[in-house]
Structures are given as structure tokens and as C-alpha cells.
Structure 1
């Protein structure tokens, strides 16, 4: 069983989280600064190799009513780029409210989200991944 890499995609930053080898626990991994799509995909390829990842989980930003937004379409386009370069299964996972939840968690730890946007992105990716892992364990 390999690890799952969760991606919280954004225009400026991409939050990442990684599962343990047994796919039970999600841990924040890093925040990548977006400096062009090719560089971002290359960074993901490097992490996939380094951590022996066998699946990508991409946060899917639907609107509050479950409808597609401009950001949803941007994520869909990015996923198509990924699928052309990375030969791993890619799963989309509803990420509604993860940023708000991540900010709440950081505030409880005494961290100011407005001053630590990279941590918000990492925590959002961790929440997305943990929800996915928990869903799989319940089935």
C-alpha cells in the first residue's frame, strides 16, 4: 500500500498533505509557491517519487450549493494537465469549508491565519485527506 498525496490547489500557493503508509493518518506536508504550472507539476513529481505516492487527492472547490465555480473549472483544468504527466490515479474530493476549519484549528493553537497563509493551505490539505481516509475506513 502506498501513500496518498493531497493537493489543495490555489493560484498563488498549493497546500500539501501526506498519508502514512497504511492510509490511516493525514499529516500536513508543505506549501508550494506557484511559479508556473510546469514547475508545480515537477515539484509534485519529485514528491511522488520521494514519498512513494500511489494516488493523488485533489481538493475540489464546489460552491456552497454544490455548483461549479470559476475555481472549480481551474482545478479541473489543472487535473487534466496532471493526468497528462503523472500516471497515478487522481481523485477529486469536496473541499467545502476546509479553509474555514483550518483557520479555526490554527486560531485554537494560537496561530494567526492571516500571517500564516501557507499553514492554512497545508492544514486544508490535511483536512481534505483525513476526511477521505476516514470515509474509506468506514466503508
Structure 2
């Protein structure tokens, strides 16, 4: 069994999270510059088996697509073309950034550490993955 890799796509930075090989536990992997994302994913897949990509789907409160969905769709087309053998699922990512920030507060991180946007992206990807695992268990 391989890992599930979650992607919290952003135009500048992208947060990544993965499961263990049994696909039970989600944990943050890293945050990468979005321009380097495809190279990172291909390199990662050389050393780890990935069964599925889970990509955050940003929605407005009225359930319509967020403005950033245009960029995510372009990324998804490229991902399907360059890594065609790994299925992609989408997960509603509303509130994950706010939940990530609250997680940082709850864990006792200092204000300076909470300003680390890369860490927020990584935690957001982890929350997306946890939501996916919970809804599919």
C-alpha cells in the first residue's frame, strides 16, 4: 500500500501532507514554492509510492468555487498530464487556514512562529488530509 499525498495549492507556496503507508495517520510533509511543485512531486515519487493525490477545493460560503480555483484547475491539468497513473480526489478546504492558525495557537507557538505562512500551508494540507481520511473511513 502506498501513501496518500494532500496538496494545499497556492499561487506562491503549496503545503503538502502525507499519510503513513497504512493510510491511517496524516502528517505534514513540507511547503514548497509552487513553481517547484511538479519537480518536488516527481522526486518524492521516486522514493515513495503514492496511491492518490488529495487536492484542496476552495469554496465560498455559498458553495461556489473560489477565485483561486482557476489556478488549481490549471495545476490539476498539468498534474494529470505529468503523473497520469495517480488518481486525484478533491476535498472541501473551507476554513482550513483558520483551523491551521488556531492549531498553532493551541499548540503554544509564539507569535513570531505563527507568522510563518509556510507552516500554515503545511498544517492546512494536513487538515485537508485528515478530513479526507475521516470521511473515507
- TM (norm. structure 2) is 0.92
Q: Is the 8 A contact 1:28 1:125 kept in 2?
A: yes
Runs of 4+ in 1 over 6 A off after TM superposition: none
- Number of residue pairs matched? 134
State how 1:59-138 maps to structure 2 within 5 Å: 59-87=56-84, 88-111=86-109, 112=111, 114-137=114-137
State the distance in 1 between where 2:89 and 2:44 align: 17
- Classify the secondary structure of the residue corresponding to 1:103: helix
State the distance in 2 between where 1:71 and 1:114 align: 23
Task: Could you tell me which runs of 5 or more consecutive residues in structure 2 were left unpaired when the two chains were aligned.
Answer: none
Q: Is the 8 A contact 1:3 1:51 kept in 2?
A: yes
State the distance in 1 between where 2:63 and 2:132 align: 18
State the distance in 1 between where 2:97 and 2:18 align: 17
Q: Is the 8 A contact 2:9 2:72 kept in 1?
A: yes
State the distance in 1 between where 2:130 and 2:45 align: 18
Instruction: Say what the alpha-carbon RMSD is for the aligned residues.
Output: 1.3
State the distance in 1 between where 2:108 and 2:117 align: 14
In structure 1, the partner of 2:55 is 58
- TM (norm. structure 1) is 0.90
Task: Provide, for residues 100-131 of structure 1, a one-character-per-residue CA deviation record: whole Å limited to 9, x for no partner.
Answer: 00000001122236521111001000000011
Q: Is the 8 A contact 1:48 1:54 kept in 2?
A: no
Give the superposition deviation at 1:67.
0.2
In structure 1, the partner of 2:44 is 47
Task: Could you tell me which runs of 5 or more consecutive residues in structure 1 were left unpaired when the two chains were aligned.
Answer: none
